[in-house]
Structure 1
Amino acid sequence: MQSHSCTVTGLALLGDELRPETVSITVEKGIIRSIEPAAGASDVWIIPAFFNAHTHCGDTVAMDCPCTGSLTELVTPPNGLKHRILAETPRDRLVAAMRASIETMQRSGTAGFADFREGGSDGVAALREAAAGLACRPLIFGRDGGEKIGDGLGISSVRDVKDAERQVARARAEGKLVAFHAGERDPHDVNAALAFDPDLLVHCTHATEKQLRECADRDIPIAICARSNWILGVAERPAHPPVQRMLALGCRVYLGTDNVMFVHPDIFGEMAFISSVYRVPPEEILRAAVAGSRLSGQTYFLQEGKSANFTVINARDANIRFTRDPIATVVRRLSPAAVEQNVLTMR
């Protein structure tokens, strides 16, 4: 739900540090006006909203279609399977499918997402139509001309685009963000992407130590999509993507769910998978699930004076009130079913 004014009391995970404190949060006109200490234990948990840092919502029309093949055969433009399905899908069905995925994200406490949108300007317009009236807002990386009316330019890979330099220069001149897929199947397109000083790299599944150090030194965020990497066969062990090494080097890591064709756009599921497979500390995983909101020019971390974007969990109904580590429980055990209320501010 959207809420312009309300007061919620419970155990909240506050600030970038995700400090657990029992507080009352007062929201007025979509802004967190105050966070005040509250007495006693609470069966209500308040967690910052998620930002899904990499999606392809259009792929909803190809959800779980029977398919086999390489990464190139399945998703690489212009002739990958998903691109052929998108080309033959009527616009009304595409819009309805994308809206269904956005509603799925919103119900699970996701307030925003960064989408690589195919189909040029028409594709960007279709996604905006799909998101109309919803509190979960898209940050749209267009391609094939869609970047002209989108929020940024999304490039599949430098090896898939012949005129990347021209496209990036034009996007920069128009004040747009620039994002690249890089390092998904090997490290050989990462350096070329870094040369464009991107605002976001997606995947870096096979990035080298040197490339990761450069991302850390230049504060270039990386959106990892772990479940997608495993499903598409570009990862088969916890070394890929090298999440623990990224964090150790100081990389800014965000979470994305990637193609809805293969992976449900559910950040709860993404967090649980990363916790199980990559053994990353829960607080780092949860922080990465929220921090991508910076791409949109704001932060979803719970702070006074910031836009109100948070999720209310009934800990008693979710049978998690016995936990000794609320952050670990949020990351490992929660699902969208645990969400009692979303307070999301459209901005």
Structure 2
Amino acid sequence: MHTLAKEGFRAAPTHEERVHEAAVLFGKGKSGADHFAQATLLEAFGTDDFPVLLGDAFAKSAIKAQKDAVKEFEPLLVDVTVDSFKRRKLVDLWTGDAFEPVAQGEEYKGGILEETELTHGAGKNGKSYGLTWELRRDRDFSALANFPKALGNGSIKGQNNAVADLLVKNSAWNPEFFGTVATVPFTPDNLDAALKELALRENHRDELVDTSDLVLIHGPALRGQVNRVLKATEIEMQVTDGSKVTKTRIQNPFTNVVTPMESRAVGKRLGTDQGTAWALVQGKTSDLPSIIRTLLSGEETVDIRVKKDQGVRPGGGDVPTDAGSFNDDTIWFRGRDVYGIDPGFTTGVWASKGA
């Protein structure tokens, strides 16, 4: 006679191993191909410990999905971790004050990390999913198996949307972020002019703007032109000799100067400009980061919960969460992610809607 006591989720020596074994049993039994494994899974769902262990496994799966999801804007985001939800002024951690000479026996001069007028903070984001009790009774475990990935992916999609909404407003580059938006097409000459304009600007530290880590953001419709400019061995550009301006082919000067970033989220929001619009934004290694992602200490990954509202038996005793809620038999799962997306130092950004 089969007994659950011999199953890995009961017999494994550590909690982590029992969580793993619960996930293995769920994987074997959810399809129904192995009738013995599915019968064992159904029996395990009726225990107090298996749903809890499987919930832990789902949480780990959701975190893995969060880490594996496509992070469109990760090269732009600079992380700052805080201990509360209170919005605060951004401290200039990227100033890098120059060391000064110190004479023999002289005290070292103190540096100062200046507060800026920029503010940032973290906020709650999340989603809940209701899975019906009937799905489990019908042995349809596909929704249950897929929901951790849905929660993990949802976390990253939320962050991608937050960044895209910062960059684009009302179907155009956001003027509150980029300032004046140009109306020139993406060409070698116009890219060169934009880079020169940025290189001549001064940041809030009275230094020239860093142009060593610039990211070229565009929608999918501009991919061909971006590739023709950035990946060509030689390109045609205007060359000025005194008062004479001529077109000539030269070795591509833009190789490794900017990093292209194609974004579907940005392209969608740009509307009619998505085939022509382009922008330059500082990357995460710049000393003038353009976008700040604020994380809450201890809450850096997605948090998964299951709603425990199934009631108790008339004669006493707990009812497992997978039996469904008291009101409608639905099993509710919730994912929570805590972060904030705020503009950083935007002196070093530039944008054009195209011609």
Same fold (TM over 0.5): no
TM-score by length of 1: 0.25
Q: Which has the larger radius of gyration?
A: 2
Which structure would you say has the larger RCO, counting Cα contacts within 8 Å and 6 or more residues apart?
2
TM-score by length of 2: 0.25
